[in-house]
Structure 1
């Protein structure tokens, strides 16, 4: 008779009372010999009330493998409930090696070439389940006996890493290879992981606050609530004709939620000067404010040949020319533009007040 060993692994990220239909059929099949390696297996208590007989086989991986193989060699359908922690990896390896080698088993027994080995998932990870592993790792690093470096970090000490990882992810995207399978896409996956680490790290630190703790679940819930509220055309009865209308609705809802009285509220002044100026001009345009912006000098416009370049290339050359001019004059271009951006902010506030 053909014997069969069915290995049923369980996801440690899924509630133990849940089991796939195929795994349930294997466990409850009449005549099946169902085994586990310890009484503490989380699935056992859910099988006790269903008249499923579970036989424990404890011992070294090689010994357990021999016993399972002996039962299967006798023609039985053997089911092994794997430990969700992954502690059964050596048992799986021992079974695979024994079947592949076709070696004799325990004294007086032999491994039949007819024994089949099947892996049948008992539960499957939900999308995002690996995030639980990240949370567990961060807990381990920050807990007593973890990593001394991780344990001493604060929100303030991690700011530079948060910015650095975000810039590295942006650079990887700008390199242009992230859409094609290969090194560029692998690099993007890694850089996004580094950014995600910063979110998990800050959330873990926030969880330790004595008076106002919050953790990764609170962070996630906050952004979920925000996304649902800011997309009434998806989650409510709102409507949006295009992306521009979606963006306008987002800004309106955001201003109402935060009770903002000015379009410049929420614009971070500490961001790079170029993005700061762009954000301020965007907010002013969205509010219909007439803002005076310096015009390009005539000679600079004439010196720029736009016939052989795209608008993006032309603007890039002009910006680079301005940086070059700033160096010739001994001026910090970031500081110079930041001064102008702050002046633009004051102009917007003045226009709002006069309107």
Structure 2
């Protein structure tokens, strides 16, 4: 798209091939980064520009550009692609100076001018399409056309979009605006199980989608919590709490303690967690509503970690011994390093496949 040169027509002056062609720079910014935090190349280009154009009079960058002494022509319709090319190159064959301020035409005649366009949020398709059309025609000597990102999204920046969308949905959606955390419980459980299934199936696309669904539950509950009249908290409070917990429970990274093995890390974690919770029993904090095998394995893990000697219950409890037998298997699996819940799910999937195979053979 640079330096496309042809004759402008019979009798038309032809610019010198050695003359600077000028530049048209489309300066893009991210709405996820605070206004005014622009890259050094962006500030340097803005300060060196002959004209800075911004069609949006309410663009969030404008106050900061003006504070920095950048003269911005804001509001109104942008000059056409032909007008900007003429202004930058000084080629009278395109109507040099058209759309420019009074007296700018004489300056543009020399060429080598730089125009920076700060687009609105929707972009400037009329201008960019026009420039592409002119560059592709081969009839004009084009200025250098550049896309200059002035700010970049940081990792995790799209989370801000999620929070913003959730705010809008909570305010405007007839269904979402009426939901409570209690009413959303079943969805959280379903999404967690769907995530587990995606992991166990090794489906990467499903994994990405299900992680998003679980994340939505977190953001939804936090948004609802903001409205609590007595103890409100926000998604920032949720994130701040887990950050503090992670830092505190990793003293080998953020503190002075040492940990060379995964076992050392786990020991640190358990010590700091015990000090935080100040629990009187190793069973505290174990949710009884989780699946029975997972519950049994978690209890067994706590018992083993605490070094307790606890006898398994006898079959007198339920009369048939199935519960006690399943508990004993769960304890054995946990001691062997096998998650009994995952093991049973794997066996159940294999059983399902065998059922389907039997059905097809009939």
Q: Same fold (TM over 0.5)?
A: yes
Q: Secondary structure at the match of 2:175?
A: helix
Deviation larger for 217-226 or 32-41 = 32-41
CA contact (8 A) 1:8 1:120 kept: yes
Instruction: Give 2:88's aligned residue.
Output: 72
Task: Judge conservation of contact 2:80–2:130 (CA < 8 Å) in 1.
Answer: no
Match in the other structure for 1:348: none
Aligned residues of 1:4 and 1:78 also touching (Cα < 8 A): yes
Whether 1:18 aligns to 2:37 is yes
Which of the numbers 74, 78, 94 marks the counterpart of 1:56?
74
Count the aligned residue pairs. Answer: 290
Q: Identify which of 288, 291, 295 aligns with 1:269.
A: 288
Taking a change above 3 Å as real, the CA distance of residues 193 and 57 of structure 1, as seen in their structure-2 partners, is same
Q: Deviations over 1:10-56 (max 9, x none)?
A: 11111112110111111011x53211113322222223243322123
Tell me the distance in 1 between the aligned counterparts of 2:127 and 2:265. 52
1:229 corresponds to which residue?
A: 248
**Structure 2 Cα separation of the partners of residues 317 and 44 of structure 1:** 61
Name the CA shift for 1:150/1:291 in 2 (closer, same or farther; >3 Å).
same
Change over 3 Å in CA distance of 1:126–1:285 after alignment to 2:
same
- Say yes or no: does 1:166 pair with 2:201: no
Hey, what does 1:6 align to over in structure 2?
25
RMSD across aligned positions (CA):
3.1
Other structure's SS at 1:251 match = helix
The alpha-carbon distance between structure 1 residues 258 and 238, as it changes in their structure 2 partners (threshold 3 A), is: same
2:144 corresponds to which of 116, 126, 130: 116
Shift of 1:294: 7.3
Aligned twin of 1:256: 275
Report the Cα distance in structure 1 between the residues aligned to 2:127 and 2:312, rounded to whole angstroms.
Answer: 70
Aligned counterparts of 1:256 and 1:233: Cα–Cα separation in 2: 17
Unpaired stretches in structure 1, ≥5 consecutive residues: 104-110, 177-183, 298-309, 325-355
Listed as ranges, the gaps of 5+ residues in structure 2 are 1-18, 91-110, 315-320, 323-335, 352-362
1:81 aligns with 2:109: no
Q: 1:39 corresponds to which residue?
A: 57
| 1:152 maps to 2:206 | no
TM-score scaled by structure 2? 0.72
- 1:284 counterpart (280, 286, 303): 303
Task: State the SS of the aligned residue for 1:148.
Answer: coil
Aligned to 2:3: none
What's the TM-score, normalizing by structure 1?
0.73
* Distance in 1, Cα, partners of 2:346 & 2:210: 28
Partner of 1:240, secondary structure, is coil
Q: CA deviation at 1:166?
A: 1.3
